[in-house]
Amino acid sequence: MATAPSIPAKDDFPESLVYTLPSPATTPPPTNILILMHGLGDLHNSFTTLGTQLALPETAVLAIQAPNSLPITQEAYHWGDDVIFDNSPGGLDSDAGFTKTRTLLAGIVDDALVGRCGWRTRGIFFFGYAQGGMAALDFVLSRPGMEFGGVVSVGAGAPAKVEVEEGEKCRTPVLVCAAEEGSVISQAGERRLEELFEDARTVRWKGRKEDGMMQTRGELLPIMEFYGRRLGSVVGVPEDALELIAGRTS
């Protein structure tokens, strides 16, 4: 019988990492872990409650903070290598290179979770919002032959500069959620995801005129179904998780 992975301690992680990792309330011990990555200009603690409310079975929740601070007065962080101004609603380009974030995630995944604590890559999941979603997609694309549990990216597609070798699509399944109208994810962006990943699906939220976090049960449902399909658990995804999280907008 396989030994359950251990919950990482502070000393297991990169020294620079800012994170929250609530004590798992699941029995038996978790065999999956969900890494949550906030949007550009946010903090990690805004996603801690989100991960707990999703209530995925046998799954620990790790909310991490982006490694780079924005040059503004209030505390805010981003995942990019640079701060690039553009004409987007937030005034900043999310696709700003992710070399430093790749290094941070390698320290979390390779050194801490897999190396020290015995987690399988198949049991490591990601949820990212906006730039956090793009950074998560960038990381798994940097390891096309490795299969993680899956990535859910809300309001962001793959970075423009990332490529995979011809005939070598990324094995990690991804679900991208976008507004029906006015999304940063174009039809060409959808096709690009299909070119980069073996298993890529884009869900367009009907009636939404701009990207954002899920607001209704119907918007959350495909996310829960994706995780439920990929989780290494026979328990299934609890229905009440839909009610707990529906309506969250930040």
Determine the 3-state secondary structure of 225 from DSSP: helix
Q: Which tokens in the block code for residue 125?
A: 């999941």
- Domain of 181 in residue numbering reads as 10-245
In a domain, 80, yes or no: yes
List, in sequence order, every beta strand (DSSP E) within the chain. Answer: 19-20, 32-37, 59-64, 68-69, 77-78, 124-129, 150-154, 174-179, 200-205
In a domain, 5, yes or no: no
In a domain, 199, yes or no: yes
In a domain, 4, yes or no: no
In a domain, 76, yes or no: yes
* Beta strands at 77-78 and 68-69: parallel, antiparallel or unpaired: antiparallel
* Mean pLDDT value across residues 49-72: 87
pLDDT, position 250? 41
In a domain, 236, yes or no: yes
* Mean pLDDT value across residues 193-218: 93
pLDDT, position 121? 97
Residue 3 above 90 pLDDT? no
* Mean pLDDT value across residues 42-48: 86
Domain count for the chain, please give it.
Answer: 1
Residue 75 above 60 pLDDT? yes
In a domain, 2, yes or no: no
The CATH number given to whatever domain includes residue 63 is 3.40.50.1820
